[in-house]
């Protein structure tokens, strides 16, 4: 089999801790959340890749700041997909819940999820198994992180809980491509919440070893996050107990109530 028939996903480091994901088949490429044009353009040139589209998850500048320069440098006809009502300059195609983004080169079909919480108009892109995709893939911006979730800048705990539930329903082997290398600090907090979580203790060692070699801790998987991520575990007895203890509130009737407590704890951690 030609090695270029299967898609590769490569992290292009940007700023201090961002990853711009490049989905490519050895010839054509998509960029996810190019906040900085310079490293993205350098990688495309180095790998001799033709950019055929840009996928945007939300409006924050560290995810959108490179659009104009990339379009100007490569010619302004590159489609740029992104969420409605987001105020993002340079979008050519608005996509909403359950829309399909069909790309011919590289060949991939992506389903759109609306996942408010971090921002009100945040979206994610999901590729289930298909011709070029061996394992399902999720490009989730700043909604879900390895062992964490995005800060609630615009959305509510209920919205974030519902968004994370959409991800929890995906196949457990789904590869999760989030856009920041926050894993070690997220693990430190997760261990404060669940100090006896053996999966988390094991993951902490593996993540430390990866970062000590300057390797990404990503992608993670949905199955892994259901075991180690406190924000994906707000229905679990251990999390409910930790939330009650830290808040002093004994009535936390829903996962959203638990997430509200855990997220506020993380914000001051």
23-60 pLDDT tens trace: 999 999 999 999 999 999 999 999 999 999 999 999 99
d(CA 52, CA 37): 15
Interval 72-100 mean pLDDT: 95
6 falls in which pLDDT band (50, 70, 90)? confident
Lowest-pLDDT choice from 35-44, 47-56, 69-78, 165-174: 69-78
Give me the pLDDT at residue 2, please: 38
Q: If you search the block for the tokens 């945040």, which residue do you land on? A: 122
Does residue 146 contact residue 225 with C-beta atoms inside 8 Å? Answer: yes
Quick: pLDDT tens for 241-264.
999 999 999 999 999 999 999 999
d(CA 76, CA 80): 10
Res. 76: pLDDT tops 80: no
Question: What value does the mean pLDDT of the chain take?
Answer: 96
Give me the pLDDT at residue 131, please: 80
5 falls in which pLDDT band (50, 70, 90)? low
132 falls in which pLDDT band (50, 70, 90)? confident
Domains of the chain, CATH where assigned: 3-268 (3.60.15.10)
Does residue 258 contact residue 240 with C-beta atoms inside 8 Å? Answer: yes
Give me the pLDDT at residue 252, please: 97
21 falls in which pLDDT band (50, 70, 90)? very high
Give me the pLDDT at residue 50, please: 97
Say which residue, 76 or 214, is predicted with more confidence: 214
Res. 3: pLDDT tops 80: no
d(CA 18, CA 40): 12
Does residue 16 contact residue 123 with C-beta atoms inside 8 Å? Answer: no
243-253 burial, b at 16+ Cβ within 10 Å, e below that, comes to: beeebeeeebe
């Amino acid at each position: 089999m030609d090695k270029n028939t299967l898609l590769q996903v490569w992290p292009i480091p940007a700023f201090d801790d961002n990853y711009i994901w490049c989905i490519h088949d050895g010839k054509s490429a998509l960029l996810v959340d190019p906040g900085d044009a310079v490293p993205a353009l350098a990688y495309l040139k180095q790998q001799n890749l033709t950019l055929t589209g840009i996928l945007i998850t939300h409006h924050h500048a560290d995810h959108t700041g490179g659009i104009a320069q990339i379009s100007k440098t490569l010619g302004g006809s590159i489609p740029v997909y992104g969420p409605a009502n987001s105020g993002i300059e340079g979008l050519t195609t608005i996509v909403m819940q359950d829309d399909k983004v069909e790309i011919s080169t590289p060949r991939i079909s992506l389903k759109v999820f609306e996942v408010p919480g971090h921002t009100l108009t945040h979206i994610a892109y999901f590729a289930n198994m298909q011709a070029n995709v061996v394992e399902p893939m999720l490009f989730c911006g700043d909604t879900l992180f390895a062992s964490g979730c995005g800060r609630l800048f615009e959305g509510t705990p209920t919205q974030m809980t519902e968004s994370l539930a959409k991800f929890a329903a995906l196949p457990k082997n789904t590869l999760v491509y989030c856009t920041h290398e926050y894993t070690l600090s997220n693990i430190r907090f997760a261990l404060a919440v669940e100090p006896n979580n053996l999966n988390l203790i094991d993951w902490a060692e593996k993540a430390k070893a990866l970062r000590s070699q300057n390797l990404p801790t990503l992608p993670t998987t949905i199955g892994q996050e259901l075991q180690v991520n406190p924000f994906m575990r707000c229905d679990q007895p251990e999390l409910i107990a930790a939330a009650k203890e830290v808040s002093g509130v004994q009535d936390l009737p829903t996962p959203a109530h638990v997430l509200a407590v855990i997220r506020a704890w993380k914000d001051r951690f």
